[in-house]
Amino acid sequence: MFTDGACLGNPGPGGWGALLRRGSHERELSGGEAHTTNNRMELLAVISGLEALRKPCSIALTTDSQYVMRGVTEWMPRWIAKGWRTAGGDPVKNRDLWERLALALGPHAVEWHWVRGHDGHPENERADVLARRAAEAMRDSQEAAT
């Protein structure tokens, strides 16, 4: 699984993209929100990819989001133990999506991989195209409505 999020302004119209691959089969997913942040789109890319799986899987998940990867692998266990509070005692931002991600991860064995964004990784670039197109569609629909 390869995921990315995009936002035209932060906050602003945003999109997410996920590329799922098993053998020679691929599936592309994307979506967006009219007013959001890049971090929320990065989270939704992973969540949507995981929620699209029909049965428990072993997944190699590649993201260019340190926020998502470190959030899952380092921060989330502490947040949960502290009642969704940060080390400083503040409420965790995007808690709704972190809780949804925790549920989506449940049945799967995920191996996390980080890549530098916009550095030529073909699948990450494809996920970025999906996310940017979704963000642009959100922007265009907002402009058409005004």
Is residue 96 a known part of a binding site? Answer: no
Q: Which domain holds residue 17?
A: 2-145
- pTM for the predicted model, two decimal places: 0.95
- Contacts made by residues 65-72, CB under 8 angstroms, sequence distance 24+: 65/3, 65/4, 65/5, 65/39, 65/114, 66/114, 67/39, 67/42, 68/3, 68/42, 68/43, 69/112, 69/114, 71/98, 72/101, 72/105, 72/110, 72/112
Is 42 annotated as a binding-site member?
yes
Known binder of ligand: residue 64? yes
pLDDT tens-digit series, residues 44-93:
999 999 999 999 999 999 999 999 999 999 999 999 999 999 999 999 99
Q: Looking at residue 60, which CATH number applies to its domain?
A: 3.30.420.10
**Tally of domains in the chain:** 1
Considering the chain, what percentage of its residues have pLDDT values greater than 70?
Answer: 100
pLDDT digits (tens, 9 = 90+) for 11-57: 999 999 999 999 999 999 999 999 999 999 999 999 999 999 999 99
Checking if the pLDDT of 146 tops 80, the result is no
Q: What is the pLDDT of residue 1?
A: 98
Q: Which residues are catalytic, by number?
A: 4-5, 42, 64, 118, 128
